[in-house]
A and B are shown apart, each in its own frame.
Chain A
């Protein structure tokens, strides 16, 4: 349940952001990111709809690759 997925910030509006991952868009809450400056194009780790940390594009990429592997394993 502590799984967090990386998402790309598309648009910031106060404590809310429109974020995207793998073509899926979601509203993400930024209330826990008040110590960070977030801009369009940044990546965040998202857990239960809340951004918990800003991450590098490289970290986002490796996490996505991992989820593809895990999802594939779950489908077997």
Chain B
């Protein structure tokens, strides 16, 4: 039985809602659908939708971007990376190179790619040259990177891994005592790979309503209706509102590759700090394709102290769902998609970029 978006909205309007309910999403794709379909404005006034940690580019550690820039500049290599990473700024003095884009302009061989398939193809076409694949992303993107490694890569392809798991960030928020949300819309494609079960802790350990949603208005509104009903009924459970795509246990084959290629470690999130069990690192078996083993001199421990968001930028609060994008002090003033300051305005998945693209121009700074 499928309902239309307006039928879901009608059902939501008939719920006897509390004074204020805050629903968090943790996926840039969800936020894009919510913003472009105008779902926020269509919901009852009591319901707030807050974007949370849903952008892997935004939280990619500053020191990793710095490392990528300096490997590309300092070594005779081709560096490939997903296009979103090119404009992410690092915190350096004004005259220094502050992004992969600027490093490319300065002569480094840096190429945007859309798939690990391209990284492998470029390495195969250039057997006498090292190709460094700077790979940032959440589970959905890390699974193809793991599959690429498990399927077999040329000796001259080296992965500079900056992969992260989404659920530990939500767990950290919930364990902080001030999560800032009352219910969760869990990410659709992360769950496609990992299985919806990953999100059961939200319900079991924190008694918060949760639903996995897809990306159509119908699936998102079905998820919102579900968590609102769970909340008012006082019976939280993990609902799956994207069942055609999100299956129990997810994609087991993909998870097997993730497990074969990567180990999970306590990892840094830009502007946030270390989140336990939230990072993917290459296993020993893949050390011969590890860029950090090949080029060890570029990991600068001291940068971890300066690895914050750019000055004046509130991306860290935006990523954690503590403020809305237009509550940032520089949203739309010093920071626009044309000249972005923070990574949330750079990435297509960044909440600031999405809000700007959907027409939000006014600041809402308290």
Contact = CB atoms under 8 A, between A and B. Distances in A.
Contacts of B245: 45, 53, 55, 59
A1 B82 contact: yes
Interface in B338-365: 347-349, 357-359
B347 A59 contact: no
B254 interface: yes
Contacts of B29: 2-3
B215 interface: yes
Contact of A4 (B55, B57, B150, B189): B189
Interface stretch (B32-40, B274-282, B301-309): B32-40
A47 B148 CA distance: 13
Interface residues of A, number: 32
B36 A2 contact: no
Contacts of B187: 2
B209 interface: no
B147 A45 contact: no
B151 interface: yes
A39 to B, nearest CB: 18
Contact of B244 (A33, A34, A59, A65): A59
A45 B192 contact: yes
Contacts of B143: 32, 50, 52
B75 to A, nearest CB: 25
Contact of B138 (A1, A56, A69, A74): A1
B253 A34 contact: yes
A29 B117 contact: yes
B358 A73 contact: yes
B271 interface: no
Contacts of B322: none
Contacts of B348: 1
B257 interface: yes
A76 B253 CA distance: 40
A2 B137 CA distance: 8
Contact of B144 (A29, A63, A65, A76): A29
Contacts of A13: none
Contacts of A76: 359
B291 interface: no
Contacts of B70: none
A54 B218 CA distance: 20
Nearest to B135: A48
A31 B253 CA distance: 8
Contacts of A63: 214-216
Contact of B28 (A2, A32, A66): A2
B251 interface: yes
B252 interface: yes
Contacts of A24: none
A48 B192 contact: no
A49 B117 contact: yes
User: B33, B35, B140, B359 — which one has the most chain A CB atoms within 10 A of its CB?
Assistant: B140
B141 A2 contact: yes
Interface string A1-42: 111100000000001000000000001010111110000000
Given A4-B192, A66-B33, A70-B32, 6 more contacts: A1-B347, A1-B349, A3-B189, A27-B117, A47-B140, A52-B254
Among all A-B residue pairs, the 8 with the closest Cβ atoms: A49-B115, A73-B36, A50-B144, A2-B140, A59-B244, A32-B254, A31-B147, A2-B189
Interface of B: 27-29, 32-33, 35-37, 55-57, 82, 84, 114-118, 137-138, 140-141, 143-144, 147-148, 150-151, 187, 189-190, 192-193, 214-218, 244-245, 247, 251-254, 257, 347-349, 357-359
30 contacts: A1-B28, A1-B56, A1-B57, A1-B137, A1-B140, A1-B348, A1-B349, A2-B187, A2-B190, A2-B349, A15-B151, A31-B147, A31-B148, A31-B150, A32-B257, A35-B252, A45-B192, A48-B116, A49-B114, A49-B118, A50-B143, A50-B147, A52-B144, A52-B254, A53-B245, A55-B245, A66-B216, A69-B36, A70-B33, A73-B36
